[in-house]
């Protein structure tokens, strides 16, 4: 997903820089709105999974505190590592979706400028 989003952001920026036609800009806007919707869904799913892992980690830490069991310590360590990777990925998704919002604003601005130049 990281590579996909990175490539998409480069693609959309290149396409925006080369675009000077209002119809093409409308097409770019429609495509970008679809991508934003997909990534918002992806972001919500990853948020829920991250919170689930955080809850599971808290439960197992509580079990570890009360039992001092070595296998539980191993399980806590594994869940903690997984949670760190989920947080890293969620952070990337969150920041990229916010960049997508800024690109959306840029598209709106470019549409406004094209409409003003035709007057």
Is the model's pLDDT at 1 over the cut of 80? no
Cβ 53 vs Cβ 79: under 8 Å:
yes
For 76, the domain range is 40-111
- How many domains does the chain fold into? 1
In a domain, 65, yes or no: yes
Is 23 domain-assigned?
no
Task: Give pTM, 2 decimals.
Answer: 0.79
Task: Please check the confidence at residue 81 and state whether its pLDDT lies above 90.
Answer: yes
In this structure, is residue 31 part of a structural domain? no
- For 28-66, the DSSP string reads HHHHHHHHHHHHHHHHHHHHHHHHHHHHHHHHHHHHHHH
Q: If you ran DSSP here, which 8-state letter would residue 103 be given?
A: H
Specify if 28 maps to a domain.
no
Does 29 fall in a domain?
A: no
């Amino acid at each position: 997903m990281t590579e996909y989003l990175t490539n998409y952001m480069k693609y959309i920026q290149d396409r925006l820089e080369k675009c000077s036609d209002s119809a093409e800009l409308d097409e770019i806007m429609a495509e970008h709105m679809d991508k934003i919707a997909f990534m918002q869904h992806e972001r919500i799913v990853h948020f829920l999974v991250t919170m689930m892992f955080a809850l599971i980690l808290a439960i197992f830490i509580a079990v570890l505190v009360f039992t001092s069991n070595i296998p539980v310590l191993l399980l806590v360590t594994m869940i903690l590592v997984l949670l760190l990777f989920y947080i890293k990925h969620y952070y990337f998704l969150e920041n990229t979706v916010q960049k997508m919002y800024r690109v959306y604003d840029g598209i709106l601005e470019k549409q406004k400028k094209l409409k003003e130049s035709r007057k």
